[in-house]
Structure 1
Amino acid sequence: MPSPNDVPTLYLLHALGASAGSFRRLGDALAGRVDVQGIDLPGFGSETAASDTSLDATVAHVVGILNEKARGRWILGGHSMGGKIAALVASRVLNGIAPLTGLAGMVLLAPSPPRPEPMDEERRALMLSWVNDGAISEPDAETFIDQNTARPLDPGAQSLALTDLRRTSPTAWRAWLETGSRVDARADVGTLDLPVLVLAGEDDADLGAAAQPGLLAGVYPRARFHALADTGHMIPLERATEAADAIAAFVADEVLAGPVVPEEWARLIAGDRVDDRVRGILNRRAVPDDRGYAPRVLDLAQLTLLREIADLVVPQDGPAIDIAARVDAQLARGDGDGWRRDGLPPDPEAYRAGLDTLAAHWPTDPAERETVLGAAIEGNGPTGGPLDAGLLAAWLEDARVDLVRQWLSHPASMARTGFDGFATGGRAPIRGYVELTLGRREDWEPAGVGGTIATGDAA
């Protein structure tokens, strides 16, 4: 059976008037590549309407389902209304508030943005009038479908959409149109720095391909936008095959990069022994690296060289962490240990100077690089560059610490080394350890620790 880390699960939240069943065709098209599981929201599909119709209550409903189901590396997504709810859920996962771990990316289909959704007020009033006397009638449901598609749906899709609309709770329908769509949740969502695919139709007026970049500006810095021609708002029913191909390519390129946290360790991170803030830090560190990362302090040539140095300092088996890019991001944030050798400039300048000094003498043959790096570490490095041999060796000491620290701080590395010192408390009083003895692991500690860590002589 495929591992959830190889074939990740995409949990999808549906649009207004739809249900989890609206993603069935998408799931069939993605079979063997991504496991699609839709989630019915309160008042839609098989879920009865909730007494509390707020966005917070709906988010809590989704978090509860994910807590039962989500394992390994998983993706969260949403269509239209579901997109706004997905953003709030993802924010809680990355902040550690939700007892979840493993979120590796998002897939959004014509999403309602965290800000108030753009909607013509006359159309809003018309849609609200459809539930004045109870459930949506068939003629009104047909009008809604016509307004949200570029072309007539095939009979099967039309029947599914009509069934979902007719069984939608008037209370849930009204709650979204009157309140949920108008809520400005940008402060709660913040910036979600993880891989995101946004699919939108070119014939969708309010939430289409032309509008989405502006609507989502500042929310998803790593968003990849994909326009679907001759498509309206009902993407899962109009363009399941095309959407599936775009999702599969996105998952292969962006989501499956880097190591994953073993299941036993993931359960520990998601559990009540871990403080919310700590869980959030670990969840953000576990997000797959940006394959198209643009350096912020170094230039591209310097970052490439730092990656080659990183390969020698911290050799990685299997999917690797881009620790050089993480160091560049660290420099951009101004993070550091607050110490540097006398004579070295501030960290950003020292990195640029050290890399430029090495660059002029760096071999093209990978087999020779370890010798050059080892000599520089011993103080016998090249001369004539921005740093002399002594300062170059001092900078390399700092750089090696940064590279190793970035590797060790990843939750998958913590699992590999057996470090679970982050699991000492939570909402309950700090528990700590009963006995600190070499080779002694307590009952709550994960038993499996990964294999031998590869180390290079140059480290």
Structure 2
Amino acid sequence: MLQRLDNPPRPVLFYLHALGSSRRAIEAVGARLEAEFEVVGIDLPGFGDAPAALGLSVAEMVAHVAGAIRAHGATRWLLAGHSMGGKVATLVAARALAGDAGLFGLAGIVLLAGSPPSPEPMDEARRERMLGWASAGPLDPAAAREFIDGNVGAALDPRHEALATRDLLRTTREAWLAWLERGSREDWSAEAGRLDLPALVLAGGEDGDLGPDGQRRVNGPVYPRARFEVLEGAGHLLPLERPAEVAEAILRFWRREAGAGPRIPTDFARLIASDRVSARSRAILARRALADDPDYRPKALTTAQLDTLRAVAARTVPQDMGGAAIDLAARVEAGLASGKGDGWRLAALPPDVEAYRAALDGLADFGALGEAEQDARLAALVAGTFEPAAGGLSAAQMQGWFADARTDLVRQWLAHPATMARIGFDGFANGGDGPRKQGFERLAAGEREGWEPAMEGVR
């Protein structure tokens, strides 16, 4: 049975640590998040409790993290990467949005002084100094002391300093050298591409190469929706230096943006993640499931026209999505801006963008009307009797445009995985990427396959 939407499981925050650190670095932040998140730290190979034999290359670290997420089974999750872990997090996010099996449900990413997918900017003299610390074996206490002092804006709390020191001293020499000599220098920009998902990028005001300016330069192009925040006075070890501020920033980000979209029932999300769904279909659904940008700026319409379209959408396609709604108007507007239509238009109408602009200008007062007046206006549009005072379209053209607009809005609503779960549609699960497609066997009305989620729990 599907997970009821009125009592969903907590989302999961997967944390990937920095060079010389471990999963324990997130503990102070996690203690402040536990009411809303399950926080899962993952040791990267050669750090913490993870053996170096798991693989020290960037590719092997990405595979290790993806395997841990699959094994957990999370269906609604954030990915947080600190410094070195930021590069790994970006590549895992790229795989999730590309439709890799078992990785469905990524809602957003948090970078804490994150290393980019491109070569990490690093002063070469400092790199050589750090390499020298491990030339004959693991780091010693003097090297750990110098590393910590060079990466904080102010002295750490004694507990956090002890944790950082312990992690540095048990870091394997092989893992330390592998990152500095190879991993930090590798360019994975092509594999990452542009990741259009909710992103929070935190930087310490006193950090060096990966500080505020560096973050905007190297991670800004990867994340067009990135929200940049600066922790003034902090250095590079953000989870240990400013755990309360990091936790508060993550909660704001989740509540306002990454977690603001409609929830997808757990069993339905697991079906999408399964091998019954092709990678291409899963990638499409993964991107559709992302929360809408609360700061979306229209590209084909004016802000006033988009506001009018939102008012029309609210009355035309009412939503009850468990406390969150899809911004159907913004999604239609994005389609108009991209030039990707449905392949046809009424001969009596101008091209789609022109038709939308003219029609919405003709409905400019719609958002200010009461619900009864709005419904009367929509009824007149359907009947072909509404003659706009402005906008340049006739009553018949407004009727044709509204027929098109209704189709566009409903198409966006039906395309969302939360809507598919609500109406019980799982036709996308007709076979994965293997040579033999599972398909459907029980096709009679009222019958369901044994693997299909039951719909009784959906509101």
TM-score for both structures, normalised by structure 2: 0.95
- 1: distance between equivalents of 2:163 and 2:73? 27
Give matches, 1:330-369, under 5 Å. 330-359=335-364, 364-369=369-374
Specify the alignment match of 1:90 in structure 2: 93
- Closer/same/farther in 2, CA of residues 383 and 140 from structure 1, 3 Å limit: closer
Per-residue CA shift, 1:69-93, capped at 9, x if unaligned? 2424210010000001000000000
- Closer/same/farther in 2, CA of residues 364 and 270 from structure 1, 3 Å limit: same
Q: CA deviation at 1:356?
A: 1.1
Specify the alignment match of 2:438 in structure 1: 431
Partner residue of 2:137 out of 131, 134, 138: 134
**Are 1:110 and 2:113 an aligned pair?**
yes
**Are 1:214 and 2:217 an aligned pair?**
yes
Give matches, 1:192-341, under 5 Å. 192-317=195-320, 318-341=323-346
- Closer/same/farther in 2, CA of residues 3 and 165 from structure 1, 3 Å limit: farther
Specify the alignment match of 1:456 in structure 2: none
For the Cα contact (< 8 Å) 1:17–1:165, is it kept in 2? yes
For the Cα contact (< 8 Å) 2:311–2:366, is it kept in 1? no
Give the paired residue count.
452
Q: Which moved more, 1:80-89 or 1:301-310?
A: 301-310
Specify the alignment match of 2:61 in structure 1: 58
Q: Which moved more, 1:248-257 or 1:199-208?
A: 248-257
For the Cα contact (< 8 Å) 1:361–1:382, is it kept in 2? no
Specify the alignment match of 1:375 in structure 2: 380
**Are 1:416 and 2:422 an aligned pair?**
yes
Amino acid at match of 2:455: G
**Are 1:394 and 2:397 an aligned pair?**
no
Per-residue CA shift, 1:328-381, capped at 9, x if unaligned? 001111111111111211111111111112225665222310111111111111
Partner residue of 1:125 out of 128, 138, 147: 128
- Closer/same/farther in 2, CA of residues 341 and 449 from structure 1, 3 Å limit: farther
Specify the alignment match of 2:158 in structure 1: 155
- 1: distance between equivalents of 2:184 and 2:363? 55
Q: Which moved more, 1:240-249 or 1:358-367?
A: 358-367
User: 1:76 aligns to what SS in structure 2?
Assistant: strand
Specify the alignment match of 2:77 in structure 1: 74
Q: CA deviation at 1:229?
A: 1.2
Specify the alignment match of 2:447 in structure 1: 440
Per-residue CA shift, 1:243-281, capped at 9, x if unaligned? 111111111111221211111111110000100011000
- 2: distance between equivalents of 1:64 and 1:182? 24
Per-residue CA shift, 1:121-180, capped at 9, x if unaligned? 111111111112111111111111111111222221111111100110111111111111
Q: CA deviation at 1:382?
A: 1.9
Specify the alignment match of 1:19 in structure 2: 22
Q: CA deviation at 1:414?
A: 0.7
RMSD: 1.8
For the Cα contact (< 8 Å) 2:81–2:87, is it kept in 1? yes
Amino acid at match of 1:335: K
For the Cα contact (< 8 Å) 1:344–1:391, is it kept in 2? yes
Amino acid at match of 2:80: G
- 1: distance between equivalents of 2:6 and 2:170? 36
Unpaired runs of 5+ residues, structure 2, are: none
- 2: distance between equivalents of 1:4 and 1:29? 21
- 1: distance between equivalents of 2:388 and 2:410? 26
TM-score for both structures, normalised by structure 1: 0.95
- 2: distance between equivalents of 1:442 and 1:418? 13
- Closer/same/farther in 2, CA of residues 271 and 2 from structure 1, 3 Å limit: closer
Unpaired runs of 5+ residues, structure 1, are: 453-459
